[in-house]
Amino acid sequence: MDDSLLPTPERLVAWRHDFHRHPETAFEEHRTGARIAELLRQAGLEVVTGLGGGTGVVAILDGRRGPGRAIGLRADIDALDVEEANDFSHASTIPGKMHACGHDGHTTMLLGAAYALAADPDFAGRVYFIFQPAEESEGGGRVMVEEGLFERFPMEAVYGLHNWPGLAVGEAAVHDGAVMAAFDVFTLRLSGHGCHAAMPHLGSDTILAACQLVSQLQGLVSRETPPHQSAVLSITQFHAGDAFNVIPETVELRGTLRCFDGELRAYLERRFRQAVEALAGFHDLRVELDYQSRYPATINAPEHAARCAGVLETLPGVSRVHRDLPPSMASEDFAFMLEACPGAYIWLGNGVESAALHNPHYDFNDAIAPLGVAYWQALVTTLLDD
């Protein structure tokens, strides 16, 4: 064993804080990708760069026991367009950008696992360490799959994880099926004839129509979604008007629609379009609708979920493995990888006092990094045990 490669807690903290200070968002992770590649090469791994639109990295490690099966371990590397509110020494140095979802920690844990396994590759077969860009809404996972990730790096399974605020340190959650929801976004413009606010009968009231639509669309969830299934529709932006005494010509609405079931997803999109067209027709408005299906649902393969849970239950640092937590309505583009290759995605507790994901006060909990490294290392040595 090469002790110089051991991922000590101090080394993990140094890596993580460096990534946190220098956040980069979707497909712009040039420094991040270069630093990941540099560290992997220092550990003696074979490294492939320029993936996933240019900033993704894959490292390859073969076990000392000879040929065998291959698996992939994935970490996301991008940050968010969020202004950090923390004032600690490792706070973001890039205005308007921060690691508000813990991808700096995910990257660090996978780097630590690469170092630990390189120091003692006591397994048969091959591991691919996948560092994926652009998870946050831009589909870097989809890009990697479309570029031929699984053809270029053949593997029988792929695994991912995410830190989870509200879940205690030392606890984990593993789902046998759905983990995260599918994610659609929409931009809707309603246009008519603007008019004086004192004479609404001379125009078409886009504000009234848009307000009715906001309420009406909720019926797709409350009255058209089966009660045993989950869906959520959120209007997150409402842009209209510039004056007190003018009914504006145009209103723009933006939002998201999420669910788990593919058939329900298609049904809700169809009914969404019908509701918009019908209401616009009633109010004599023109419609421009940009509806985009972004991410599919993240669905674990039950047998792979069971393997992950079994490994977690053997780790000294894990006090509890939840098997019955409800899935999250948030979304994750690891879903594209799970559609192309079986595997599983777990949650690792970031602490009950942790700020929520995507919050400007959030910070990845450095205390869980060694546990993440231990999990990845144990998963590899368990699954690739000849």
Partners of 184 in the β-ladder: 257, 293
Pairing of strands 70-76, 126-132: parallel
HSE (side-chain half, CA atoms, 13 Å) at 282: 11
Question: What sign has the CA pseudo-torsion 318, 323, 325, 329?
Answer: positive
Whose tokens are 């053997």? That residue is: 314
- Give yes or no: 78 in active site: yes
> Which of 184, 33, 54 minimizes the C-alpha distance to 103?
33
Of the residues 78, 84, 171, 363, which is catalytic? 78
CA 302 – CA 299 distance, rounded (Å)? 9
Of the residues 84, 135, 171, 332, which is catalytic? 135
- Using DSSP's 3-state secondary structure scheme, residue 356 falls into coil
Backbone angles phi, psi at 293, to 5 degrees: -85, 110
C-alpha gyration radius of the chain: 23
HSE (side-chain half, CA atoms, 13 Å) at 15: 28
- Give yes or no: 147 in active site: no
Q: Where in the sequence numbering do the catalytic residues fall?
A: 78, 135
